[in-house]
Homo-oligomer: A and B are copies of this chain.
Amino acid sequence: MQKEHNLSKNQKIIFDLIDKSGGPMKAYSILFNVQKKGIKAPLQVYRALDKLVEIGKIHKIESRNAFIACQNSSCQISKATAFSICESCEDVSEISNTKLSKYLSNFADESGMKYSKYNLEFFGLCKKCKSK
């Protein structure tokens, strides 16, 4: 069973914004968009983002310093994330591919390290940009 997280006021405002945007959003763009709702300071945004990342409602796209709503309905795999990023239009989508996630979750090498998390970012041209 998945734990139900009751989002706080700021968390809800910020999650809804990111979710509705349908793509990655940057922290200060989020800030700008929620100022009319009373969220005035960067820290308020970052705190909500931290929490949302922690509970898996959003993910951080590390190479872009941006945040995107989790697109896996289950929202259970925040410790195993994979994204495809178009280097032309900067469109990002989350990859949910069972084989890939199994392969990576079970990956082990000779280092003696046990991996508990991973983040994978693929880069290329999306269908639209390829055909331009």
Contact of A113 among B86, B103, B113 (CB under 8 A): B86
A75 contacts the other chain (Cβ, under 8 Å)?
Answer: no
Give chain B residues whose Cβ lies under 8 Å from the Cβ of A123: 115-119
A62 contacts the other chain (Cβ, under 8 Å)?
Answer: yes
Q: Is the Cβ of A119 less than 8 Å from the Cβ of B120?
A: yes
Q: Is the Cβ of B62 less than 8 Å from the Cβ of A121?
A: yes
The complex is assembled from copies of this chain, and their number is: 2
Give chain B residues whose Cβ lies under 8 Å from the Cβ of A2: none
**Chain A interface extent, by class:** 20 to 34
A29 contacts the other chain (Cβ, under 8 Å)?
Answer: no
A84-125: which have CB < 8 Å to B? 84, 86, 93, 95, 97, 100, 103-104, 107, 109, 111-125
Complex Cα–Cα for A127 and B109 (A): 12
Q: Is the Cβ of A112 less than 8 Å from the Cβ of B97?
A: no
A63 contacts the other chain (Cβ, under 8 Å)?
Answer: yes
- Closest-by-CB residue of B relative to A119 is B121
Complex Cα–Cα for A95 and B116 (A): 16
